[in-house]
Structures are given as structure tokens and as C-alpha cells.
Amino acid sequence: MTTPNVALVGFGYAGQTFHAPLIAACPDLRLHTVVTGKPNLVRAAWPGARAVADLEAVLADPEIDLVVLATPNALHAPQARAALEAGKAVVIDKPFALSLEEARGVTDLARDKGLFLSVFHNRRWDADFLGLRAQIASGALGDIRTLESHFDRFRPEVRDRWRERDGPGGGIWNDLGPHLIDQALVLFGMPLGITCELAVLRDGGRATDWSHAVLRYADRRVILHADMTTPAPDIRFAVHGTKASWLKGGLDVQEDQLKAGQGVGADGWGVDPRPAIVVDGATGDRSEVACPSGDYAAYYAGVAAALTGRGGNPVPPEQALAVMAVLEAGIESNRRRAEVAF
């Protein structure tokens, strides 16, 4: 296959900030088309790409090999199905779909047609998460007993955007929950059960802006927390093992670098200035450990390799289905005020 041509559907925050720069930075992909109602933005940012007004133009174009969906969550499944029916490979921004049933239907369709399907779980390539995986693999922490993972933000004012409306796919559990869940499953696999509480705490809030989940494993507990009400978002990870603890604050820098227009892969790309702290369980001694550089570009490099037969899918749909199962079970746990077992 020659260099695959990519159509990016949606040019809002996710499309502009994440997908377009990362696709354009991949030497083995070509940003060919962007579906948007704001063509001038595309021409200004990516003059080599054409702008079209609707998905149908992309589906009818034989030059398009891959369709990337960076649209509101409620559109993910129907647009993915349409793209697959048109014979296109598909990448979907998280969450995969509105429900596990929808996601399974898309997965089955891709399998039946023999087409590539992947979900953009980019936080696997955060600097802190790469550092944590390395620490766990080294055995320096021992057997992990508790992992606490936070995405805490301070956004006290409710904004009028689909993510913060009480509609399908809105709310922080649908927005940040997939990141937290995916990282936990990469580390430990499926839990035995989930207990989850979801709340709206901000004045005038319409969608969930506070979420707290506990994943139960046979020999450990994993706490996943996200909110928009924390003025001091100091905790990113607090991981406690039988030998040592691993503590990390701050968020990965790649999103801010992308928002600032920094070139993907430029000097300083993905470099986290805040080291992790390792606390020795026997002595209490503390030491700083630097994390490797974050690498969101690895996702689309993996996509390109998979499309051209040089590698595997970086996030296979089966892994994204597991995230959806936990995400949906969390909503059910909150509804029932009880643990949901798997």
C-alpha cells in the first residue's frame, strides 16, 4: 500500500489539538481531508488538506483509506458503521461508543468486513504512565497493592459545550473515565468488580463533574478519580507496592504542547519536568526518578504500520471493548449504589 490517505471527521478541540497534528506528523500517513463546517480554519492550519462539509463526501472518495472520527460521542458508532460499510479503515476517539452494545456492533462489523478498527487511547503514551509501567516491570515497587489514579481539574464555571451538557455521552466519566480505565486495564487486566459514584457538584452543573470508582482485584484495589472541582490537582498517581511507593504529580505535557502549537517531536517534546518520587518501604528514603518522554506520535505510527502490514493494531477493538464494559458497569454501579461484578 502507498501512504494511506486520512480523512479527519470533526475539527473541534480533539480534531484540532490532537488528531490533525499527530496525523500530519506521521511520515507514513497523509492528512488528505478534513470534514468541518469551518473550512477556513483547516486552510489556515493545514493548507495541504482539503476541507469538505460532510461525511458523505469522504465515504464516496476512493482515495480515502482511513477515517478518523473526532466528533461528539453520540456520533461515534453511527459514523464508524457508515465508514466501515464504505470500506474504510476507522479510528475512533474515545469513548468507543455510547454503550457496550453499540461498540460490539461496530467491532463485529469491522471483523465481518476484514477492516482495521482502533480507538484513540492516547494516554497509554503519557510520560508518567510510561514511567509507571517501567517501574512496575522492574520489580522495584514489589507487588502492587493499591493504585490511585487522578484526573483532577479546577473548572468551577460550567461551560456551554456538549461535554458538559446532560446529553448522551456527556459528563466527566465519559470524557476522562476511558483514560483512567484504559491505563488500569493495561496494567492489571479486567477487575473482578467496580464500585462507582458519579455526581454533579458545581453550581449550575448539568452533567457529571465528579467521579470516583474502585476496581476490585483479588490482591489489589485500583482507585480512579476525576473531577472539575479541585483547586489543588496535586495527585496524578499514588501507587503502593510491597517494596515501595511511587508518587507522581502534574499532568503529561503533550496536550499543552499541542495547544501551544509546538511541533510534534520537537526538542523537549513530551519531557515531563516533574520527576516521580519513590519512597522505600523499609527505610522511608525518598528518591527522584525521571519519566521517559511522552509519545502520542507512537499511536499513529502504530496505525500506519498496521495499515501497511508492518505491525499490529496499537489499540485493538477488543481492548477498547473492555474499557467500555468497565465504563458502562460504573454507570450501573452508580445507579444501583452497589458493586457490579464482571
The residue among 160 and 258 whose pLDDT is bigger is: 258
Say which range, 65-79, 116-130, 155-169, 303-317, has the weakest mean pLDDT: 155-169
For position 86, which CATH number holds? 3.40.50.720
Domain assignment of residue 62, yes or no? yes
DSSP string, 31-47: EEEEE-S-HHHHHHH-T
User: DSSP state, 242?
Assistant: S
Domain identity same for 183 and 45:
no
Closest of 323, 339, 305, 274 to residue 124, by C-alpha: 323
Domain assignment of residue 302, yes or no? no
Domain identity same for 87 and 47:
yes
Domain identity same for 64 and 165:
no
Question: Mean pLDDT over residues 241-264, rounded?
Answer: 97
Binned at pLDDT 50, 70 and 90, residue 233 comes out as confident
Domain identity same for 219 and 165:
yes
Mean pLDDT of the chain: 96
Closest of 261, 264, 255, 340 to residue 298, by C-alpha: 264
Phi then psi for residue 248, to 5 deg, are -145, 130
For position 163, which CATH number holds? 3.30.360.10
> pLDDT by residue (tens digit) across 50-103?
999 999 999 999 999 999 999 999 999 999 999 999 999 999 999 999 999 999
Question: Is residue 1 predicted with pLDDT exceeding 90?
Answer: no
| b/e sequence 174-198, b meaning 16+ C-beta within 10 Å | bbbbbbbbbbbbbbbeebebbbbeb
Question: Is residue 131 predicted with pLDDT exceeding 70?
Answer: yes
Task: Give me the residue label for grid cell 483479588.
Answer: 218
Element at 329 (helix H, strand E): helix 317-336
The letter for the amino acid at 9 is: V
Contacts of residue 201, defined as CB under 8 A and 6 or more positions apart, other chains included, come to: 209, 210, 227, 229
As given in the structure block, the three cell numbers for residue 71 are 466528533
Question: Is residue 167 predicted with pLDDT exceeding 80?
Answer: no
Percent of the chain with pLDDT strictly greater than 90: 94
Task: Give me the residue label for grid cell 522495584.
Answer: 140
Domain identity same for 86 and 192:
no
- The whole-number pLDDT of residue 232 equals 92
Domain identity same for 46 and 114:
yes
> pLDDT by residue (tens digit) across 194-225?
999 999 999 999 899 999 999 999 999 999 99
Domain identity same for 164 and 286:
yes
> pLDDT by residue (tens digit) across 302-331?
999 999 999 999 999 999 999 999 999 999
- The whole-number pLDDT of residue 240 equals 98
Determine the straight-line distance between the first and last CA of the chain, rounded to whole angstroms: 41
Domain of residue 66 covers 5-120
Q: Into how many domains does the chain fold?
A: 2
Task: With beta carbons less than 8 A apart as the criterion, state whether 80 and 92 touch.
Answer: yes
Domain assignment of residue 316, yes or no? no
As given in the structure block, the three cell numbers for residue 337 are 449504589
Task: Report how far residue 213's alpha carbon sits from residue 181's, in angstroms, rounded to the nearest whole number.
Answer: 10
Task: Report how far residue 214's alpha carbon sits from residue 237's, in angstroms, rounded to the nearest whole number.
Answer: 14
Domain identity same for 142 and 86:
no
Using alpha carbons only, give the angle 37, 38, 40 rounded to the nearest 5 degrees. Answer: 145
